[in-house]
Amino acid sequence: MSALLDRLAAHAPAIWLETAPPRGVAVESLLGRLAAASGQLDAINLVDNALGRVKMSGLAFAAMLKARMDVAVALNFSCRDRNRFALKADLLGAGALGIEGVVALRGDKLADDSAMGAKQVHDLDPFGLLSLIADLNRGDTGEGRRLLKTLPRLVPGVVGNPNRKALDRELELLDRKAAAGARFVVTQPVFAPEAAYRFVARARAAGLYVVLGVLPIKRPSMAEYLKKQIQDLREAHRHLDHYEGLSEEDARRSSIERNIALMRALAGEVAGFNIMSGGGPSLAIELALEWRRQTRAAE
């Protein structure tokens, strides 16, 4: 078993921090903030041009993380932006760098394919990408050759949305992803325990480790943005309404309290929590540290 899976199989839920690589080439500030929290994190989950916004290559930033920190990395791979050759090349690079996990996902739809000349690729879908990862884990390049040196095993994961109104369709996709070789699922953010129970039960029945998305809210404007712009969270609007009219300080404090309560309620149900940065890691790190503090105090 890999170190990543070993931690997900542990009694206490793993703590992952989700963040994006920087927008430009200035990396020291973000690396410093992540390094300061590294002893409290079980993994860092790096997103891949989320919401169609270009950031530094996740593979390049993951290499910097691995050089600076002793922490597992789960690297998101979007099928939206690369054909199968580019995906395969980056997977080989991830294996050579010792990246532990790969999250196979379709990728957020671009608002306008003509923006900056961008075109969606989708040469592979997540199922094809899972198959490609399985081939490389066996040493098969798919070109009639085998790797001369076996790569460290890449643990394949996928994404899921417990908030989806048509949940039966989401659960059907979850079963297919498990059958295609996924070992864990990282979810969209959940804001109430009842939104997660059916999804988590189905994922566990399919043999998937669930890393539940937790999104701290920094300010009321962030909650309003999520309501207006992120269609996957339509079922969570009544929870986001809580932040209307609060000051930024009160919103941050309330979000920490509400998310700690959520994590306590689900700690016995899931393999881990993926604490999402939502524009910057400061509040996500604060939540991770507070969870660790309260957990140690309760032991």
- Domains belonging to the chain, first-starting first, are 3-216+267-276 (3.20.20.220)
The structure tokens listed for 30 are 């973000």
> Does 236 have pLDDT greater than 80?
yes
What's the CA gap between 294 and 292, in Å, rounded?
A: 6
Which residue type does 184 have?
A: F
Pick from 3-17, 25-39, 137-151, 229-243 the range whose average pLDDT is largest: 3-17
The 3-state DSSP class for residue 36 equals helix
Rounded Cα distance between 282 and 277, Å, is 7
* Predicted confidence band of residue 231 (pLDDT cuts 50, 70, 90): confident
For residue range 248-281, list pLDDT tens digits in order. Answer: 999 999 999 999 999 999 999 999 999 999 767 9
Tell me: the pLDDT tens digits for 78-133? 999 899 999 999 999 999 999 999 999 998 776 665 456 677 888 899 999 999 99
- CA–CA separation, 71 and 4 (whole Å): 10
Residues 6+ apart with CB under 8 A from 163: 188, 190, 195, 232, 233, 234, 235, 236
Q: Kindly report the CA angle at 212 between 299 and 177, in degrees rounded to 5? A: 135
Helix (H, G, I), strand (E, B) or coil at 151: coil
- Is 80 exceeded by the pLDDT of residue 148? no
Q: Which uninterrupted H or E stretch holds 166?
A: none
Token pair listed for 76: 């998101």
CA atoms within 13 A on the CB side of 242: 18
Place of tokens 């309404």: 241
Give the side-chain half-sphere CA count within 13 A for 51. 10
Please give the model's pTM, rounded to 2 decimal places. 0.93
The pLDDT of residue 117: 64
Reduced to 3 states, what is the DSSP secondary structure of residue 5? helix
Q: What is the chain's mean pLDDT, rounded? A: 91
Is pLDDT above 90 for 162? Answer: yes
In the structure encoding, which two tokens stand for residue 170, read together?
């989401």
Which residues lie closer than 8 Å to 84 by C-beta, 6 or more apart? 123, 124, 128, 132
DSSP three-state, residue 144: coil
Positive/negative CA dihedral, 218, 245, 163, 197: positive
